Structure 1
Amino acid sequence: MKKTIYSILSAICLLYLIGCSTPKYSIFRYDNGDDYFREGLHRIVGKDGKIGFADEKGNVVISPRFAFVFPFENGLAKATHEGHQVAEGEHWQWISPEWFYIDHKGNIIRNDHRYSQIEERLKTYVAAQDTRIGVAVIIDGKDTISVNGNRDFPMLSVYKFPQALAVADYCMKKGITLSDTIGIQAKEIKEDTWSPMRNKYGVSDLRLPLSEILEYSLQQSDNNACDVLFRLIGGSQVSDSLMKASGYGDITIGSTEDEMHRDPYLCYQNRATPIAMARLFDKFYRLEMRHDSPVHEAVGAMMMLCGTGDNRLPAPLAATDAVIAHKTGTGGRNTQGRIVGINDAGYVFLPNGRGYAIAVFIADSAYDMARTEKIIADISKIVYQSLEN
């Protein structure tokens, strides 16, 4: 009997010792392998998915408690308690509104106050306006500033950017080049809509190079040119499907320009969150999606010569060496007498080598066009002045 009890106790002790000696974490995976050691530490992942650090002997030095943390560099590691993961092709990045730095003991040394202060300034400014405003800024692909960034806003003509990506994708698959001509029937050229293309060529059957139609759509926000491109690729749903398949579920494209003209409330159907649009611009310019094909290259170059919205995002950049590529959107007034939307979104290349994607959406504005555009310019100024150095 005593031997039996002794054997059971011995087994329990052995199991306990085995359990104690088994690491209660896994090694963080990086580039399809175990995380590298930096300054004697590498990242580990706890059972709840939180991240910490262990030394070369396997000892836990900083318990897993961060949503994400970068490797140590010069005695500090950048960490956060919140955010979300975003796929970028074969890789991914972590987007968070609040970062801080820790030392080798896990102590918070300092917060990234600079970006927090930008966000607070934007929140204060936005709260003082009699309109619905959404702002998202992604800095160097790592840090996100957001005010109402996850709320839906009507895109208006900003959707001509994701549409252009669908055109580029279609052309790659079909072997269509920028110099190929596209037939346009007279009935496709509407007379009661914004159309510099119609103003130049009139209402008649014609053929134009794809490059010229894209220029009208992207640089001058031509509504007839936009609908010709929708017809070319097979409809607005093709653009929507590409966004969903590419991981941009918060960008919805459901109506053509002609459909929105006939039913203005369809403007609200073509919607996006500021964060989703900023992510798309970040991927296109910073991650160089614009080099995927000659048509993608052309789209990128065209938006750097955008002919609309000089009083919006570009306004505070005019006297600087910064370069902006952007796409605007402008709506009429709804039945309440408010402007449906005034938007601008793009990517800013700073002369110091840094860059940021920015999307500012304004919906249901009680102000006139000039005052609403100035709101976008003011937001652009706050961001630029905080990041230029």
Structure 2
Amino acid sequence: MTFIKNSITAICMITGALNLNAQKTESLHHIIENIISNKKADVGVSIIGIQKNDKVEINGDKLYPMLSTFKFPVALTVLHAIENGKLSLDQKLFIKKEELLEDTWSPFKEEYPEGNISISLEEAMRWMLCYSDNNLTDILLRLIGGTESVQKFIGNKDFVIKNDEEGMHKDWDSQFINKVTPNRASGLLETFYQGKIVNKIHTQWLYNAMLNNKTGLKRLKGKLPEHVKVAHRSGTSFTNKAGMTGAVNSYGIIELPNSKKIVVAVFVHDTYESFDHAEAIIADISKAAYEYYNKK
């Protein structure tokens, strides 16, 4: 009888803990719903917390355009090619002037307008990851065999990549062809930082590069304490004549004070909010997630 009584007590305690956890997760879900309510935007969210099966999602399985967030899976594919002996971080790439296209985001072109310069593959990766350079991204894509190589390595589940940066700039619709679900994006980040995609050295290299990302700083990092480390990638579309911005995205890994990590992925699609307000949606969701899990 004592054994049965103790077993029942243990089961009740476990059930109570599970119910409490569910209530806490639901409360974060509720906070995020309040953030996006009445916003003129289609918002997708996926957050992976610090416990097993701890996930908060809104439109988590809906496909959203990636824009420059696709540079993270591109980087993973390049590092995979390096591990297979096809490339090396220190190999030299000759960047031709004709490869530096006009009318695209390219800090590299601003610094080296004439091109015709040799840089290492590692430097090219940093231009792509830290400064979101579109020209260097396409050069790296050509090096690994195009978007098909990325699709093959990352897989087809909830992930579509067909256009490089030049392709995304052809017309309004072309920028939305590359897509991912928020759940796939957050899951890819989690699998990455757990060291399950590339080796330990390359995992740390890519993580550090994303910590030093200089773009999208008003999004995931925008309302967090300055000391908080965030390894992130952002993506932004054009705004049409009607004032609609097709995509304002950000996903990343946020470090908590207890050395644990959470993953936050937010996709703001077809928004008529001002650009600052669209970025604030992401910042508010990131802050809510950070404060929630920091208290836990």
Give the whole-Å Cα distance in 2 for the aligned partners of 1:264 and 1:185.
28
Other-structure match for 2:292: 386
The CA deviation at 1:310 is: 1.3
| Residues 218 and 306 in structure 1, CA contact (< 8 A), matched pair in contact too | yes
Among 308, 315, 318, the alignment partner of 2:225 is: 318
Other-structure match for 1:119: 29
Listed as ranges, the gaps of 5+ residues in structure 1 are 1-39, 42-60, 63-73, 79-100
Other-structure match for 2:15: 102
- The answer to whether the aligner puts 1:129 opposite 2:39 as a matched pair is yes
Other-structure match for 1:272: 180
Deviations 1:86-134 (A, max 9, x none): xxxxxxxxxxxxxxx427xxx9864531111000121232222111101
Other-structure match for 2:49: 139
- The answer to whether the aligner puts 1:256 opposite 2:191 as a matched pair is no
TM-score normalised by length of structure 1: 0.70
Sequence identity (%): 29
| Residues 130 and 365 in structure 1, CA contact (< 8 A), matched pair in contact too | yes
| Corresponding pairs, count | 290
Q: Look up the equivalent residue of 1:371 and give its one-letter code.
A: H
Deviations 1:158-185 (A, max 9, x none): 0000110011111111352211111222
Higher Rg: 1
- The answer to whether the aligner puts 1:75 opposite 2:10 as a matched pair is yes
- The answer to whether the aligner puts 1:200 opposite 2:114 as a matched pair is no
The structure, 1 or 2, with the larger RCO (C-alpha pairs under 8 Å, 6+ apart) is 2
Give the whole-Å Cα distance in 2 for the aligned partners of 1:227 and 1:332.
19
Other-structure match for 1:17: none
| Residues 138 and 357 in structure 1, CA contact (< 8 A), matched pair in contact too | yes
Q: Look up the equivalent residue of 1:122 and give its one-letter code.
A: I
Higher helix proportion: 2
Other-structure match for 2:61: 150
Give the whole-Å Cα distance in 1 for the aligned partners of 2:107 and 2:128.
10
Give the whole-Å Cα distance in 2 for the aligned partners of 1:269 and 1:297.
30
Higher strand proportion: 1
Other-structure match for 1:224: 135
What SS does structure 1 have at the residue aligned with 2:267? strand
Give the whole-Å Cα distance in 2 for the aligned partners of 1:283 and 1:267.
27
Q: Look up the equivalent residue of 2:264 and give its one-letter code.
A: I
CA change 1:193–1:268 in 2 (3 A) is same
The CA deviation at 1:354 is: 2.4
- The answer to whether the aligner puts 1:298 opposite 2:209 as a matched pair is no
What SS does structure 2 have at the residue aligned with 1:347? strand
Among 237, 240, 264, the alignment partner of 1:358 is: 264
Give the whole-Å Cα distance in 1 for the aligned partners of 2:91 and 2:235.
28
Give the whole-Å Cα distance in 2 for the aligned partners of 1:337 and 1:108.
45
| Residues 76 and 198 in structure 2, CA contact (< 8 A), matched pair in contact too | no
The CA deviation at 1:283 is: 1.1
Q: Look up the equivalent residue of 1:163 and give its one-letter code.
A: V
TM-score normalised by length of structure 2: 0.90
| Residues 47 and 56 in structure 2, CA contact (< 8 A), matched pair in contact too | yes
Give the whole-Å Cα distance in 2 for the aligned partners of 1:240 and 1:261.
20
The CA deviation at 1:192 is: 1.3
Give the whole-Å Cα distance in 2 for the aligned partners of 1:264 and 1:209.
33
- The answer to whether the aligner puts 1:185 opposite 2:93 as a matched pair is no
The CA deviation at 1:380 is: 1.0
Q: Look up the equivalent residue of 1:102 and give its one-letter code.
A: T
Give the whole-Å Cα distance in 2 for the aligned partners of 1:142 and 1:383.
16
The CA deviation at 1:290 is: 6.9
Q: Could you say what the CA RMSD is over the residues aligned between the two structures, in angstroms?
A: 2.4
| Residues 168 and 176 in structure 2, CA contact (< 8 A), matched pair in contact too | no
Deviations 1:44-86 (A, max 9, x none): xxxxxxxxxxxxxxxxx99xxxxxxxxxxx93599xxxxxxxx
Q: Look up the equivalent residue of 1:269 and give its one-letter code.
A: I
CA change 1:385–1:257 in 2 (3 A) is same
| Residues 291 and 297 in structure 1, CA contact (< 8 A), matched pair in contact too | no
What SS does structure 1 have at the residue aligned with 2:103? coil
Give the whole-Å Cα distance in 2 for the aligned partners of 1:148 and 1:111.
21
- The answer to whether the aligner puts 1:374 opposite 2:284 as a matched pair is no
Give the whole-Å Cα distance in 2 for the aligned partners of 1:262 and 1:328.
20
Q: How does 1:227-242 map to 2 (within 5 A)?
A: 227-242=138-153
Other-structure match for 1:341: 247
